[in-house]
Structure 1
Amino acid sequence: MDHYDLVILGSGSGNSLVTPDLDGRRVALVEASPVFGGTCLNVGCIPTKMYVYAADVADTTRSAPRYGVSGRVDGVDWPAIRDRIFGRIDPISAGGRAYRETGPNTTLVSGHARFVGPRTLDVALRDGGTAHITGDQVVVATGSRVTVPDVILASGVPFETSDTVMRVPALPASMAILGGGYVAAEFAHVFSALGVRVTVVARGPQLLRHLDGEISRRFTQVAREQWDVRTDTGVTAAHSTPGGVRLTLTDGSDLDVETLLVATGRRPNSDDLGVEAAGLRLHDDGRIVVDEYGRTGVEGVWALGDVVAAEQLKHVANAQARTIAHNLAHPGDLLPFLAAPVPSAVFTHPQIASVGRTQDELDAAGERYTVKVQAYGDTAYGWAMEDTTGVCKVLADPATGAILGAHLMGPQASVIIQPAIQAMSTGQSVRDIVRTQYWIHPALPEVLENALLGLELDD
């Protein structure tokens, strides 16, 4: 049995725990996947946004005539798009693996780890056999994985997930996307913009229901103008056909498509870790319970990222990794996880960004607020863009001027929202943010400035 000062499970954000502060310590990094670097690098944030950029270019080209510019998309070279993306990502992943295999003070263990006791693990090695390892400290950073409805699994039909669909050999003529969340919305944009006939099948009444209700409603309306959107609809059966897949829907209709993409959510990778043997506790949704410092309650065992956080976001996992890296090196000076509001973005069409509380949440809590919805098209740059759907919605406490939430749908929403994120994180009020700095005119962030100026605050 090999003993280490630190054992890390997962090579995503967990990989960044090996800092210079740990020089001289013996570290084992255990990775179950055949690829190195975690979800974000290989099948998540980075490749999807590279596809989104190509999709945005195609959409922009098609819309050029509205501005008096001749433009059209004559065709899409899917292999060229795909290979540009993975021609960059795959070498980074391989390089990360090679470095950990040969780098100082770290041993890469390729296999699936399960606790057999506190800080004691058996690793089923990918090349066969079992490794038995122990650690003075263990960090669980195993991430999350896609979920697939039982009706699809039981049917035996071929399907893609976010793990596989970006590497398909050719674009299909048609695609059904099961799900109404951010993964479904982003891939619907990508494949539709690249010429695929897309049908989105969502069980709920709207898409992106986790967002502010008004933004969700507005986006669903815009989505219906781009794709065939079936809301309040589920799948009762699925069958393989000579041309692909036939889905029988809850409304009694059949949907025939060439490719089926399942985007119905993700679950924490905690169910096959031997958490009982380790003494770890789980939330009802499978997340590992930790305190504000990342400690699990089992001496020497920490956890971070998707296997812990309510928000399955890379920037959350990275921030938690920075905190735990400090705490591992400075046990007498523990830092808590960042308690600031967590922003998020959906890189669909139009782009969406959100931070803080929604109007629905404030109404449910009976809290007093003031709200302003500012249209992109009522600002100078939005007017130049001929934008007709973009909005910036801001909610604030009328007594203190504290920003309670900001929700944007429109071009560059993920960029424009940042001043609101900063204000909420540093305690700046609406008055602070709009009266103590210049806002460039006629830049697009004026949509946020005008929304803030339009809030009715108590004198």
Structure 2
Amino acid sequence: MADEYDYDLFTIGAGSGGVRASRVAAAHGAKVAVAEEYRVGGTCVIRGCVPKKMLVYGAHFAEDLVDAQHFGWTIEGKRFDWAALRDHVQNDVTRLEGLYGQTLGNHNVTIFAERAMITGPHEITLASGKTVTAKYILVATGARPLVPEFPGSEHVITSNEAFHLEALPRRILIAGGGYIANEFAGIFNEFGCKVTIANRSDTILRSYDASLRDRLLQISMVKGIGFLFNTEFESIEKQDDGSLLVKLTGQDPCEYDAVMVATGRVPNTEGLGLETVGVELGKKGEIVVDAFSKTSVDHIYAVGDVTDRVQLTPVAIREGQAFADSVFGPGETYAVDHSCVPSAVFSHPPIAAVGMTESEARNSLGNIKVYQSDFRPMKNVVAGRNERSLYKMIVDAANDRIVGIHMIGPEAPEIMQAAAIAVKAKLTKADFDATVAIHPTMAEELVLFK
């Protein structure tokens, strides 16, 4: 395309957004290069949603093996080998990393396995000292876990290290109330660890519907997970036996074998040279972009968690696709619609949601209808497990349009993917009512609300 530059596009960061943007741009005929200082695949593939979901699968067997007895199965000599699961997961991560690299290679994208920084207009300098130029630069460096500073904070781990533990901790404290904290709490609890969640507020999963938050809290406590609210770290002291003596505000000192911090994530914008060319950053260090992912500098774009919009892998992928199509494709420029994005928490049991919560709908629309189904899944009934699922549908009373669906229960995320299409398409409660149920399923509750 542009002969005066070495590349049409140079992408910094080979995570989900960067890989998609680079691949699509190359498919449109652009000459593309990517720099990645760690491993191709980014947070999701290497140290995020993919390996975490594999651990979630492994954790589910703890209850499934117990429930199996009620279905006629006799299982003797069962035991759990953390190292075996950990290594299987890491082997698959390596396999996926290879596939991502192969995809870029198949599209003739040049990969530089080193750090890169912007050193001037259209100019990138690699850690090796090599300097290249590009007509467009895309920053897709993602985000990293935030570790607060306090005496002894060097002893904590984050979700990054949780995948590589030599052994499972007998007692683990997890700081945070978001999806990462609750997901790992469920995982470690099912693996036999004594889990305590410490949260600086009195609410977990604050962006989710209150009914689902309360239900997960109740179920988690029944499963043996402890909760400490309105508390923050004062200090951590490593003792002679290797245990950690943790002092939290308002709490007596308590010993743990590991402390995991899941108190948020910060954009990876340091050391990229953004200030060299005048790229505007937000208060949290995020790159400020417009609807089309363009920064304050015309030839520099950014997608994914480094922009602090919606920090979800599928969103980063869509942003990367939209950028590549708009800048390098033959069609018209278009932007990603960040509204009505479905999400899930892979807790035990999982949560899934799309659209407005009940509170948001009341504040925004005023007159709404709320339909709810509180039931015990058939499998739990047979297994003698009292755990109940909860489905909610929020409807705009003015036009019968469904503006939100919220679920907690087995396979909720799998069910939500299809239901989210209906909410995004602005279907009505009458449309759901007119759909015949698949029986017996949990999902049929969505078309049987009264």
- 1:380-411 Cα deviation digits (max 9, x unpaired): 67755755321001111012111111111111
Which residue is equivalent to 1:27?
32
Is residue 2:222 matched to residue 1:225? Answer: yes
Structure 1 residues 295 and 182: alpha-carbon distance in aligned structure 2, compared to 1, 3 A threshold: same
Deviations 1:86-105 (A, max 9, x none): 111113314544775x6664
Deviation at 1:156, TM superposition (A): 5.3
- Does the C-alpha gap of structure 1 residues 444 and 366 become closer, same or farther in structure 2, counting only changes over 3 Å? closer
Aligned counterpart for 1:238 among listed residues 236, 239, 243: 236
Rounded to whole Å, the distance in 1 between the matches of 2:25 and 2:154 is 50
Aligned match of 1:88: 92
Asked if structure 2 preserves the Cα contact closer than 8 Å seen for 1:118 and 1:278, the reply is yes
Other-structure match for 2:177: 180
In the other structure, the counterpart of 1:457 is: none
C-alpha separation in 2, matches of 1:331 and 1:410 = 44
Structure 1 counterpart of 2:438, which letter?
I
Inter-partner Cα distance in structure 1 for 2:234 and 2:25:
54
Q: Which residue of 1 aligns with 2:445?
A: 447
Structure-2 residue corresponding to 1:210:
207
183, 189, 194: which one pairs with 1:192?
189
Structure 1 counterpart of 2:159: 162
Measured on the aligned residues, the alpha-carbon RMSD in Å equals 2.5
| Match for residue 53 of structure 1 among 32, 44, 57 | 57
Preserved CA contact (<8 Å) 1:294 1:337: no
Residue in 1 aligned with 2:47? 43
| Structure 1 Cα separation of the partners of residues 107 and 343 of structure 2 | 36
Is the contact between residue 432 and residue 446 of structure 2 (CA under 8 Å) also seen in structure 1?
Answer: no
- Percent identity among equivalent residues? 31
**C-alpha displacement of 1:434:** 2.5
The separation in 1 between residues aligned to 2:327 and 2:221, in whole angstroms, is 50
**Does the 8 Å contact 1:119/1:278 carry over to 2?**
no
2:363 aligned with 1:359: no
Structure 1 residue 446, shift from structure 2 partner: 1.4
Q: Is the 8 A contact 2:237 2:244 kept in 1?
A: yes
Equivalent pairs counted in the alignment come to 442
Question: Amino acid of the residue matched to residue 238 of structure 1?
Answer: I
Letter of the 1:120 counterpart: E
1:269 aligns with 2:268: yes
Residue pair 2:24, 2:321 contacting (<8 A) in 1 also: no
Q: Which residue of 1 aligns with 2:114?
A: 111
Q: Contact conserved, 2:175 with 2:262, CA < 8 A, in 1? A: yes
Q: Specify every segment of 5 or more residues in structure 1 that has no aligned partner in the other structure, as ranges.
A: 455-459
Note the alpha carbon deviations across 1:153-200, whole angstroms, 9 max, x for none.
x42542221111111122222211111111111111111111111111
Alpha-carbon distance in 2 for matches of 1:431, 1:421: 16
- Alpha-carbon distance in structure 2 between the residues aligned to 1:55 and 1:73: 17
Give the Å deviation of 1:247.
0.6
Q: For 2:359 and 2:75, how far apart are their aligned partners in 1?
A: 42
Instruction: Determine the C-alpha separation between the residues in 1 that align with 2:111 and 2:277.
Output: 22
Unaligned runs of 5+ in 2: none
Matching residue of 1:392 = 391
Q: Is the 8 A contact 2:181 2:262 kept in 1?
A: yes
**Partners in 2 of 1:422 and 1:95 — Cα distance?**
29
Equivalent residue runs for 1:270-309 within 5 Å: 270-309=269-308
**What secondary structure is seen at the aligned counterpart in 2 of 1:130?**
coil
Q: Which amino acid aligns with 1:407?
A: H
SS at match of 2:445: helix
Distance of 1:240 and 1:367 partners within structure 2: 53
Q: Is the 8 A contact 1:177 1:188 kept in 2?
A: yes
TM-score, normalization by structure 2: 0.91
5 Å-filtered alignment, 1:310-389, equals 310-330=309-329, 333-365=332-364, 367-377=366-376, 388-389=387-388
Give CA-to-partner distance per residue, 1:59-109, whole Å, 9 cap, x none: 222234556655577321111111211111113314544775x66643222
State the shift of 1:308 in Å. Answer: 2.1
Alpha-carbon distance between aligned partners in 2 of 1:381 and 1:64, rounded to the nearest angstrom: 10
CA distance in 1 between counterparts of 2:420 and 2:137 reads 33
2:113 is paired with a residue of what secondary structure?
A: strand
**Which of the pair has the greater relative contact order for Cα pairs under 8 Å at 6+ separation?**
2
CA distance in 2, matches of 1:394, 1:230: 31
Asked whether 1:122 is paired with 2:130, we answer no
**1:244-271 CA distance string (max 9 Å, x none):** 2111011231121111211111111124
User: Compared with structure 1, are the counterparts of its residues 296 and 156 closer, same or farther at alpha carbon in structure 2 (3 Å cutoff)?
Assistant: closer
Aligned to 2:431: 432
In 2, Cα distance between equivalents of 1:410 and 1:387: 12
Conserved 8 A contact 2:390-2:407: yes
